[in-house]
C-alpha cells in the first residue's frame, strides 16, 4: 500500500501556506522549515534537512540525511542532497534580509550556524501561519483522523475494561494498554509541539494519582515512574476495589492523532458527589461541542462555558488545586497540541474541518480527576464526535 502523501495534497498545502503568509506578513520573502513534523506536512517525509520556501520561486527541500529515503518516501517535486548549509547557500542568488522560520522550536545555535552561510539580518516567526494552515484539515487528513477515531473509540470503550485486574500497578496497565494500541495500529507515541514535552502515549492513574502535579500542561496527572520519568504510571500504586481509573491517551495513525479520555469504576461505584461532577462535565462537553461551528470565536466558547460554573465547581475545574489549566479544548492533528485553543485570548474564528479535542474535567479530592474528552470535527451543525459519544465512568 502506497502511504506517500499525494502530490496534489502537498501542492494544496503549500499554496494555502503561501496565501496565509501573504495575509499575515505581506512583506515576507523567505521561510525555512527545519522541524520534522512541519517537513512532513509540506513534503511528505521527515529528514535531517531544511525546506526553503521563497516568495517568488518554487520551494526546495535540501536533505542531509537521508536523501535516498526522502526520494523513496516523497512526491515532493524538488529534493536535493546537502552535505552542509553551504550547498543550499550556493544556490541562492539573493539573500533575504528577513528570515521567517519556526522560532518556537528551532534552537538559536542552529540559526547561528545557518547564518554563517546565509547572512540574513533578522529572524521573524512563521509559526502562526504554519499552525493556521495545519489547523484546517483536508479530506485526505480527515480520512486518516476518522479512522484513528473509530479505533480509539473501540479501544477505550471495549478493550480497556478487559485489561483491568485487581492488584495490578499503573505501569502494568500502561504496558498492557501500549500493547493493545500497537496491535490496533498505533504509530508508537504521541507527538507534542510544546517545547521539550514528552508523555509516551498519554496519562493514566488510579484514584488520587490522577490529581498528582505534573509538568505537562494538562488537567490530569499521575505519580509517574520516578522524578526522571514522571509519566507512564507508578510501579507502586496498585489497583484496588472502589478505585477510579483515569485513562487519557491518544491514538496515532500514519502521523495523525485523536485524543480521548475515559474513566472507569473498578469493582464498586464511586461516591455520588464524584458521579455528579462527572455528569456535569459531560453536559459541559455537549454544550461546548454545539458551539463548534465555522465563524465561532474560541474565546467566546470558553467564556460561555466558564460563566455557567459557580466558584465551588471552578475551584478544581480543569485541574486540581494549583494544577489548573486555562483551556477546555485544543486542536489535534500531526501533534496533540495544535491550533485552535478553546481559551481566553484566542480570537481567530473557527473554520469548517478543524479538529478539536474538548476535555472538561474536574478534580474531586480523594477520588481523582472526573470528566471526559473526545475529538470533534467543526461543522455547520456543530461539533461531530470522531471518537464516539460514550459518557464513560463505566463500572468494571
What is the average pLDDT score of the chain? 95
Q: Is residue 104 within 8 Å of 192, Cβ to Cβ?
A: no
Q: To 10 degrees, what angle do helices 298-306 and 272-290 make?
A: 150
Torsion, CA 309, CA 314, CA 318, CA 321, rounded to 10 = -170
Q: Mean of the pLDDT values across residues 211-224?
A: 86
pLDDT at site 221: 83
What CATH number does the domain located at 7-134 have?
Answer: 3.40.350.10
DSSP string, 260-309: EEEEEE-SS---HHHHHHHHHHHHHHHHHHHT--TT--HHHHHHHHHTTS
Among 107, 113, 238, 230, smallest CA distance to 166 is for 238
Share of the chain above pLDDT 70, in %: 100
pLDDT at site 228: 85
Among 192, 217, 218, 148, smallest CA distance to 377 is for 148
Domain boundaries, the chain: 7-134, 136-395
Share of the chain above pLDDT 90, in %: 86
Q: Is residue 136 within 8 Å of 170, Cβ to Cβ?
A: no
pTM of the model: 0.95
User: Hey, is 3 helix, strand or coil?
Assistant: coil
Q: Is residue 194 within 8 Å of 217, Cβ to Cβ?
A: yes
CATH class of the structural domain 136-395: alpha beta
Q: Mean of the pLDDT values across residues 191-200?
A: 81
> Residue 16: exposed, middle, or buried by beta-carbon count in 10 A (0-12, 13-18, 19+)?
middle
Dump pLDDT digits (tens) for 13-48: 999 999 999 999 999 999 999 999 999 999 999 999
Alpha-carbon distances, residue 23 vs 16, 19, 133, 175, 353 (angstroms): 11, 6, 12, 47, 20
Amino acid at each position: 500500500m502506497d502511504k506517500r502523501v499525494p502530490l496534489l495534497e502537498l501542492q494544496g498545502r503549500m499554496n494555502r501556506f503561501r496565501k496565509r503568509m501573504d495575509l499575515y506578513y505581506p512583506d515576507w520573502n523567505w521561510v525555512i522549515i527545519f522541524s520534522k513534523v512541519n517537513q512532513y506536512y509540506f513534503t511528505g517525509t521527515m529528514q535531517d534537512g531544511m525546506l526553503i520556501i521563497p516568495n517568488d520561486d518554487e520551494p526546495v527541500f535540501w536533505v542531509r540525511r537521508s536523501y535516498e529515503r526522502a526520494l523513496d518516501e516523497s512526491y515532493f517535486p524538488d529534493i536535493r542532497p546537502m552535505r552542509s548549509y553551504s550547498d543550499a547557500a550556493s544556490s541562492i542568488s539573493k539573500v533575504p534580509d528577513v528570515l521567517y522560520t519556526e522560532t518556537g522550536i528551532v534552537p538559536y545555535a542552529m540559526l547561528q550556524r545557518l547564518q554563517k552561510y546565509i547572512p540574513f539580518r533578522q529572524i521573524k516567526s512563521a509559526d502562526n501561519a504554519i499552525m493556521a494552515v495545519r489547523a484546517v484539515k483536508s479530506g485526505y487528513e480527515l480520512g486518516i483522523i476518522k479512522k484513528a477515531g473509530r479505533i480509539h473509540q473501540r479501544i477505550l470503550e471495549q478493550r480497556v475494561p478487559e485489561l483491568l485486574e485487581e492488584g495490578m500497578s499503573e505501569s502494568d496497565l500502561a504496558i498492557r494498554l501500549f500493547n493493545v494500541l500497537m496491535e490496533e495500529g498505533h504509530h508508537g507515541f504521541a507527538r507534542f509541539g510544546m517545547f521539550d514535552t514528552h508523555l509516551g502515549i498519554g496519562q493514566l492513574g488510579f484514584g488520587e494519582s490522577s490529581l498528582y502535579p505534573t509538568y505537562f500542561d494538562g488537567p490530569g496527572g499521575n505519580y509517574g515512574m520516578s522524578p526522571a520519568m514522571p509519566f507512564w504510571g507508578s510501579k507502586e500504586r496498585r489497583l484496588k476495589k472502589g478505585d477510579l481509573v483515569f485513562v487519557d491517551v491518544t491514538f496515532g495513525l500514519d502521523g495523525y492523532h485523536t485524543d480521548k479520555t475515559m474513566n472507569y469504576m473498578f469493582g464498586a461505584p464511586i461516591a455520588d458527589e464524584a458521579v455528579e461532577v462527572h455528569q456535569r462535565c459531560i453536559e459541559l462537553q455537549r454544550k461546548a461541542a454545539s458551539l463548534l461551528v465555522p465563524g465561532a470565536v474560541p474565546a467566546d466558547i470558553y467564556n460561555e462555558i466558564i460563566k455557567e460554573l459557580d466558584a465551588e465547581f471552578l475551584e478544581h475545574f480543569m485541574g486540581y488545586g494549583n494544577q489548573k489549566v486555562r483551556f477546555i479544548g485544543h486542536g489535534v492533528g500531526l501533534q496533540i497540541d495544535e491550533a485552535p485553543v478553546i481559551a481566553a485570548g484566542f480570537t481567530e474564528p473557527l473554520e469548517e474541518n478543524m479538529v478539536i479535542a474538548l476535555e472538561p474535567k474536574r478534580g474531586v479530592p480523594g477520588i481523582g480527576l472526573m470528566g471526559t474528552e473526545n475529538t470533534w470535527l467543526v461543522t455547520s451543525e456543530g461539533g461531530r464526535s470522531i471518537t464516539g459519544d460514550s459518557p464513560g465512568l463505566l463500572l468494571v
